[in-house]
Amino acid sequence: MMAGKILKMGFRQRTITSIVVSFLLLLIMVLSGLWIGEEQLEIQPEDMNEAPSLHHLFGTDWLGRDMLTRTFKGVTISFGVGILAAFSSTVIALVFSLLASVNGKADRVVTWLIDLFLSVPHIVLLLLISFAMGGGFQGVVVGLAFTHWPSLTRVLRAEMLQVKNAEYVSVSRKLGKSRLWIARHHIIPHLRPQLFIGFVLLFPHAILHEAAITFLGFGLPPEQPAIGIILSESMLYLSTGMWWLAVFPGLSLLLMVALFDILGRNLRKWADPFHGQKGV
């Protein structure tokens, strides 16, 4: 009995430690990019095509721009796009899951929409929506928001059906409470943890897809030092041996995605006691 409690405490401490470390590393990456000004991204002809060194840790590009500052600025831009897109997708998922709880017909329509969007590959639908919106920051955010809601909606809908059949909700109906009152006081509070964790877990998908369509030329404009732009431009110089132009930005993007994934999974373990006990 005592050994089981010690194991559970150790598991909980490891989970909290992982959450704190992941959050701090993400905070450092984002704040570093926010502090970078335009003057630090300027062209420096005397430093063209330098390999990684103590003076330029990530090397420089064909215009002499420091790749460390460009990479951190690009990661910050990707972070902003990911936050907006994940938040928008979470709101859409909440709205559709609430609509699904109205009646059987609405639930069938929402289920049909979920199956329809999931049947089309994300990247194809994202490219079509972004292109139709004219590309740029707005097109990318709208495209990401309208392609990443189905999976979370399916989870929220299942939770909603469980809450609707709960005894305390039946009591509220018998007492004459309206659907809006039940949604505000019973359903939304129950869905709040799933909404937050779903938002965190949507973020890695959003920034990877943003980088992908920007790399293909359908995303953010070329004047912004986004990771997709940096990787796209580096393709022209990889054959000349300038490997650092793609390796460090790509690894930085993967690091941010991995940190958010670790953060989301550990938050789910911490918030869900059954899930947490299962990992012990």
- In a structure prediction context, what are the per-residue pLDDT tens digits for the chain, which is 280 residues long? 555 555 555 567 787 888 888 889 888 888 888 888 777 778 888 888 888 888 888 988 888 888 999 999 888 888 888 889 989 999 999 889 888 877 788 889 999 999 888 888 878 888 888 888 877 888 888 888 888 889 889 888 888 888 877 787 788 888 887 777 877 777 778 888 888 888 888 888 888 888 888 888 877 877 778 888 888 888 888 888 889 899 999 999 888 888 888 887 888 777 664 444 444 3
Within 13 Å and on the Cβ side, how many CA atoms surround 129? 22
Predicted confidence at residue 8, as pLDDT, reads: 56
Angle between helices 188-215 and 244-271 (to 10 degrees): 170
User: What CATH fold (topology level) applies to the domain 2-40+66-278?
Assistant: MetI-like fold (1.10.3720)
Domain spans of the chain?
2-40+66-278
If one counts every other C-beta atom within 10 angstroms of the C-beta of residue 124, the result is 10
Q: What are phi and psi of 5, to 5 degrees?
A: -65, -40
What's this model's pTM, rounded to 2 decimal places? 0.79
